[in-house]
Amino acid sequence: MSGGSPDDPTKLRLFIDGEAKRLGFSSVAVTRPDAIPQARERLAEALLAGHHGTMEWLAETFERRAAPGGLWPEAKSIVMLGMNYGPDSDPLGILTRRDRAAISVYAQHRDYHDVIKGRLKELAGKIAARAGGGDVKVFVDTAPVMEKPLAQAAGIGWQGKHTNLVSREFGSWLFLGSIFTTFDLWADEAEVDHCGTCRACLDICPTNAFPAPYRLDARRCISYLTIENKGPIPHEFRVAMGNRIYGCDDCLAACPWNKFAAAASEAKLVARDDLKAPRLADLLALDDAAFRALFSGSPVKRIGRDRFIRNVLIAAGNSGDVSLVGACRDLLSDASPLVRGGAVWALSRLTDGVTFGQIADTASRSEADPTVRAEWASASAEQEFAA
């Protein structure tokens, strides 16, 4: 986008700040494409350690991701924007309600990509029209842009020990987007780290996903396991998942800086009532059409019904709710091996050895998928050991 007549840099910056706030952005700041020289080394170390798991796109886009200037060499300034999505209650409260499902705060409303990208495009168009003689490009999450270090360089917040952005004003609850531009805007000062000796985010992690402060091993992270992981949930993490079926907010919610946070004011980012604490029994009954209908416009939709039901079955197995046995048993005949395997594990947790043995005698005989057969063998062995 381009056009309009040139504007004084100071007036242009004031215009950007004002329009950003008018469009619902909570934070706006400017940095340079060369402001995060340390990002390359840190990303390389994470990739070398395998902390990205199966997210191969992180390695494939390394060069563009490690240096923002490589994504668009003509860019002179980056406008970083944050939008508050703070919850109106403690996200950890749902974890004790084992008959209910815990969905990450960010996914309890409309897909933030859609909300933010539209606003970014509108703001970028206004900037181009006001300034003239230059170009702008917008990015939100899906492009190879390291938003968090750029947001720290711009002064919006800092990357905490949990690797997420922390704001003194909004705590852990900011969605980020960026506008790259060829306009030469004055840059803001970087924010400094205010974590101090606090370890709250590290110590609360149920799967010990932080090998060290400021380092995350995605392969152990419940958000990765429930969203990015396409196969069965590794056995070592299943009990620790509890009732978390899409993402995890533990490290975010534990941050003391959340005492300054406020609930989201953007209507499209306010949690839907039906996604705050949905019943596991209702979710287990979802077929593909019902899943798509329930999560229309939600980021949850992108993992598909089978992976979603896999996650719900883990929560069912951890619930101790024997009323879910029937629903889990019905899913033993599901078309998806991923779902059938999850149902085996859930039933092994919800039934006694005799009952599970009876179910296994019937259901396991007709199972041809090797991953599901492995679930039967593992569950049966655990039942025998427990007896």
Q: Are strands 102-103 and 244-246 parallel, antiparallel or unpaired?
A: parallel
Residue 313 confidence (pLDDT): 98
To which H or E segment does residue 159 belong? strand 158-159
Q: How confident is the model at residue 48 (pLDDT cuts 50, 70, 90)?
A: very high
141 is catalytic: yes
Query: How do residues 203-259 score in pLDDT, each as one tens digit?
Result: 999 999 999 999 999 999 999 999 999 999 999 999 999 999 999 999 999 999 999
Name which residue leads in pLDDT, 355 or 10: 355
Q: Give pLDDT, residue 2.
A: 40
Q: What does the alpha-carbon distance between residue 36 and residue 55 come to, in Å, rounded to a whole number?
A: 22
Query: What is the rounded CA–CA span in Å between residue 266 and residue 294?
Result: 21
Rg, the chain, Cα only? 23
Q: Which domains does the chain have, with CATH numbers?
A: 9-87+109-181 (3.40.109), 279-379 (no CATH)
Q: Is the pLDDT of residue 121 over 80?
A: yes
* Backbone phi and psi for residue 329, each to the nearest 5 degrees, phi listed first: -65, -40
Q: How confident is the model at residue 66 (pLDDT cuts 50, 70, 90)?
A: confident
Whether pLDDT at 1 is above 50: no
Q: What does the pLDDT read at residue 7?
A: 59
Quick one: pLDDT at residue 141? 80
Give the mean pLDDT of the chain: 93
- Side-chain half-sphere CA neighbours of 128 within 13 A: 18
386: burial class by Cβ within 10 Å (0-12, 13-18, 19+)?
exposed
Q: How far apart are CA 188 and CA 244, in angstroms?
A: 38
For the whole model, what pTM was predicted?
A: 0.94
Which residue stretches of 78-179 are H helix? 112-131, 147-154
CA-CA distances (angstroms) from residue 351 to 232, 281, 333, 344? Answer: 21, 16, 18, 11
- Residue 226's identity, in one-letter code, is T
Q: In this predicted structure, what is the pLDDT of residue 260? A: 87
Cα–Cα dist 201/172, whole Å: 11
Options 99, 141, 282, 321, the catalytic residue: 141
Per-residue pLDDT at 4:
41
pLDDT band at 269 (very low <50, low <70, confident <90, very high): confident
What are the start-end ranges of the H helices in 31-89?
39-48, 57-60, 62-66, 68-71
Structure confidence by residue, pLDDT tens digits, 76-114: 999 999 999 999 999 999 999 999 999 999 999 989 888
pLDDT at 5: 44
In 3-state terms, what secondary structure has residue 235? helix
Band of residue 195 on the pLDDT scale cut at 50, 70, 90:
very high
Mean pLDDT for the stretch of residues 182-192: 94
**Could you tell me if 191 and 158 are in contact, meaning their C-beta atoms sit under 8 angstroms apart?**
yes
